[in-house]
Amino acid sequence: MSLRHALLGLLVEHPASGYDLLKTFDTSLANVWPATQSQLYGELAKLADSGLIVVSEQGPRGRKEYTLTDPGLAELRRWLTETEPQRTRSDVLLRVFFLGVLTPQQALDYLDGQAAQAAGLRAELKKLDDAIDWDDADLSVYGRIALEYGQRLAAMQQEWAEWARTQVKPR
Amino acid sequence: MSLRHALLGLLVEHPASGYDLLKTFDTSLANVWPATQSQLYGELAKLADSGLIVVSEQGPRGRKEYTLTDPGLAELRRWLTETEPQRTRSDVLLRVFFLGVLTPQQALDYLDGQAAQAAGLRAELKKLDDAIDWDDADLSVYGRIALEYGQRLAAMQQEWAEWARTQVKPR
DNA sequence: TTCCGCATGTAATGGGTTACATGATTAG
DNA sequence: CTAATCATGTAACCCATTACATGCGGAA
């Protein structure tokens, strides 16, 4: 249940509407924590009910701008310092376990696909990295660290997939 | 909805009961695709209903041994070749985005914790790798590839966390 | 005036976690 | 006989996805 904390985190910087937040989820957070529109509006309502955020301004078309409250910030800090990140599932890896039921050629295709996808992501992240003007702000520092993680992960995945294909034995 | 495919995959090798499969999920698949007992029994019942597996033997204490059927194997192959792995969420990374709301010391603590955890996992996987007698069987080949992924991932995470801590600026 | 983007919401369904509930077998 | 292990199942709740539904405001 980290969506609520993702929302709190995004509201630290400045107030925003559900629509604004959705765009952030579809762009910068897309690779880290995807969220759907439905889920997001529902969660915002719950957060407002529990007082962690408030509607600070109403705009045209029923737009509601939410602002983080003190209890909301406290909850975000509590989550960061007192809870452990949960274990992640890896769909990619699960499939690897069972590649033996395919022909070697099909297994190679799968690994090649993974290599290509990782290479694509890697290039995309590199472009993003180059495009951003990193300054010294906190957000910049931690955004940079997160992006570096993504790049290292993509590189690792690509190299692993390329190595893995050499391990597959022709039948 | 990959749990069903994980179950099909495990049943490729040999028939097994829910209880047997649960142990596999708690040990070898624990880091790839965790599953709870509840979920597992429910899914086995559904798989049997749809004919992808059958109860091939009944043992003491109501034990039911399930065997993969031909349609089950076909479904497993279809999943492997025709569906794309889904994007993963990263709780660890999500937190990094928001480390700016903590004190630099708290942020360092978080990164150190991540480094330590990755190092621990790395050691554990190394031990596992050394302990297993890898032969030429398919399962061995792909199990080995999966384990290699785990080790590379853990190494990457450790190195990243150690690098990241050097990027945090004291206030 | 017409279309695009802004903006929010609900309902149905499925997957996942926790907790509850029960009981048979076997090893010591 | 007693405790550990084997073994299965149900119920409640929450989170996530998909689809449906609606309507205003601004720009061309």
Candidates B73, B91, B107; nearest CB to A2? B91
Question: What is the tens place of the pLDDT at every residue in A32-83?
Answer: 999 999 999 999 999 999 999 999 999 999 999 999 999 999 999 999 999 9
Question: Of B90, B92, B85, B91, which Cα lies nearest the Cα of B1?
Answer: B85
Res. B115 pLDDT band, cuts 50 70 90: very high
Spell out which residues of chain B touch residue A92, defining contact as CB-CB under 8 Å.
Answer: 85, 88
The whole-number Å distance from B103's CA to C2's C1' is 53
What pLDDT sits at residue B40? 97
Closest nucleotide to A38: CA versus each C1': C9
Q: Which of residues 4-43 of A touch strand D (CB under 7 A)?
A: 4, 34-39
Residues B152, B125 contacting (CB under 8 angstroms): no
Res. A170 pLDDT band, cuts 50 70 90: confident
Q: What is the rounded average pLDDT for all residues in chain A?
A: 94
Q: Which residues are CB-neighbours of A23 under 8 A, at least 6 positions away?
A: none
Q: Does residue B17 have a pLDDT over 90?
A: yes
Cα–Cα–Cα angle for A100, A106, A112, nearest 5°? 110
Which strand ranges, in their side-by-side order, compose the sheet holding B53-58? B16-17, B64-68, B53-58
Spell out which residues of chain B touch residue A101, defining contact as CB-CB under 8 Å.
Answer: 9, 12, 73, 76-77, 80
Candidates A33, A77, A156; nearest CB to B153? A156
Candidates A29, A102, A159; nearest CB to B77? A102
Res. B126 pLDDT band, cuts 50 70 90: very high
Structural domains of chain A ordered from first start: 3-82 (1.10.10.10), 91-167 (no CATH)
Q: How far apart are CA A87 and CA B93, in angstroms?
A: 12
Closest nucleotide to A59: CA versus each C1': C7
Q: Does residue B137 have a pLDDT over 80?
A: no
DSSP label at A87? P
Size of interface A-B (CB pairs under 8 A): 173
What pLDDT sits at residue B87? 80
pLDDT over 90, % of chain A: 84
